[in-house]
Chain A
Amino acid sequence: MLLKRHIPLLIVIVVGLITLFGHFIAHEGVNNFVKNVSTEWFDIIASFAIFLGALNMMKLHIKKIFNKRRNWQYSILAVFGFSFAIFAGFLYRGAYYLSISDVNAGKTSIVSNIIAEEINESNPLIIQHKLISSKNDYKIDKIYITKESSILLKDKLDPFVENIKIKSIDWGSHVQTEGSLFYWMFFQILNPLSATMFALLAFFVASASYRAFRIRNFEATLLLVSGIILMLGRVPIGDLIPWWMVSIMIVFGIGAISAPFLNERKTLFGIVGGGILAFIVFGILMGWNQNPPELLSIPSIQSWIFDYPTAAGSRALMIGIGLGVIGTSFRIILGIERSFLGE
């Protein structure tokens, strides 16, 4: 009980209070703890905890394969992917490059041509200049995943160069070097897969919007109308919609809202038709063809919706969330909330 409950709770309370009031104490050590040390501690603990997660994942998948549980075939892929990442990160770095020195007399231009062709440089003179200016080692600006591919270039250069060394990028930096196996895995496998998952969002947004915009009640209609205005206002075509079309849309909107309260169809048609006519005649008389009012421009209506009702709603939400975070943190710091410790 002491180790599982009281000590963790004490740590939470002490660190919570220091972090909260540390912001107000003018002491470099306390400020440093609040701003840097505490977050570094968290990062260190989280880094070590990665092993727990990785081991758990491997254990689960290996057990699944051995016990041939349902869908065990997918686990083979998971174990293979994990092992491949370990192999590329810790065991095989790739990232081979050639370093040359002592080019045979008069052969510099041939060597430059070979290198230029290899690294797709259109102007071999640039390579030649670099070759001459580099006194000792000249590092060829191309990195290979396998040693064999670097040997192919070495064989081409061998007759013209005295000293060719095949080197590899240092461990650690290889993960960020183009040409290492890890880099290849990251940008050729993981990145496209992540992008694919992210791209799914576009389709899901479409299906979710369809569901949200279906006209079922007043709120859904309001959402649909404001959604259309926002979409139109943010594309170039929104600017081209003339004032009279916006006027007609407004009159139709008023008609749609007042329709349930009007029993006579003729009255409704009268209001809508008369409204449209009145709006257009008034607009022409006011010279709106030349200077349309801001109120009847879709981009202006869009920015008004975005700047006022939307901002007000999201701020109200943020205040609620902020207070929720404060309340939860307060309960945790005081030790009132202990559910996260399993209590």
Chain B
Amino acid sequence: MKNKIVIYIFIFISLLILYHFGEGIVFVEGSLFTFSSVILVSLTLYYFIDQARKGEEIYLRPIAGLKAIEEAVGRATEMGKSVLFVPGISDLDQVETVSGLILLGNVAEITAKYETDLNVPVARSIVMEAARETCKESYLKVGRPDLYSDEMVNYISDDQFAYTAGVNGIMMREKPAACFYQGKFYAESLILAETGNSIGAIQVAGTGSAAQIPFFVTACDYTLIGEEFFTASAYLSNKPDLIGCIKGQDIVKLFAMVTMVVSLILHGFFQAGWIRFDIITLFGN
């Protein structure tokens, strides 16, 4: 283990030296700090992925929102109603949408297992194709390809409020028993969540859009807040390399906290005139 750390430190320092000497020739000038951050984060994540692959046990705290997924689908099955999954209104170029689709795969597996209707209205054509592929694979994995139909993933509109109106219409007419909002959302988040609340559906939301989290927290039963939403695939799949990455993220967070505290202290020293170097200049403007 110690050897591995030494190797990673060696790689890190070598890359920094390489960048330093190539700065302005091969590499962009003035981006050494950003580059070193990218390399440090990448190596940390990879180190923990490697550790997890080797069988190191990693503890993941229970996330209520993820545990509630199966419970919500189960409730829909008991009530004989459908499950609604909204993957946000952004395209596949947003990481949140990709995370939403990953969660869709898990939800589709459960609906296939429980033989419950799944409805996935989408706002982007590329997302529609990706969502269909995800659902198809999930139904196949559970051994129920017969239950899958392309119609369960349907395109509504690219327009934000036309899509919202469409989804609200589905909610009011079909009254799904479980609603999942997983992806990137804007102003429509509260309209969707409040409509879902009014029909008495159990609602699980997850988003990386910081401004929409309070709305979901208020109107939904469970909310995957920020990073919880991105850890969903690791949590649900239980694959070691994905879980390793989550631990890596936590260590990076620790680095960030330490950097903030150290920077605060050093900047205080600088302002007091005790040291001449201002650490803030390292971070750019």
* Chain A positions near chain B (C-beta within 8 angstroms): 20, 23-26, 42, 45-46, 49-54, 56-57, 60, 70-71, 74, 190, 193-194, 197-198, 200-201, 204-205, 207-209, 211-212, 314, 317-321, 323-332, 334, 336-337, 339-343
Contacts and interface: CB of A to CB of B under 8 A. Distances in A.
Contact of B42 (A190, A197, A321, A330): A330
B179 interface: no
Interface residues of B, number: 80
A342 B245 contact: no
A211 B218 contact: yes
B249 A207 contact: no
A319 B258 CA distance: 13
B253 interface: yes
Contacts of B200: none
Given A24-B27, A25-B26, A194 B124 contact: no
Interface string B18-47: 010000111111010011001001100110
Given A327-B230, A337-B102, A201 B190 contact: yes
A340 B98 contact: yes
A45 B93 CA distance: 12
Contacts of A50: 125, 158
Given A321-B226, A327-B248, A24 B218 contact: no
A197 B164 contact: yes
Chief secondary structure at chain B's binding surface:
helix
A164 to B, nearest CB: 40
B133 A208 contact: no
The 9 closest A-B pairs by CB, nearest first: A324-B230, A53-B125, A342-B137, A49-B125, A53-B155, A197-B161, A320-B227, A324-B227, A194-B161
A52 B49 contact: no
Given A336-B49, A340-B98, A324 B242 contact: no
27 contacts: A23-B31, A24-B28, A42-B93, A53-B128, A53-B158, A54-B155, A56-B150, A57-B154, A74-B169, A197-B161, A198-B187, A204-B194, A204-B219, A208-B215, A212-B217, A318-B210, A323-B227, A323-B249, A326-B41, A327-B249, A328-B98, A329-B95, A332-B98, A337-B102, A337-B242, A340-B92, A340-B101
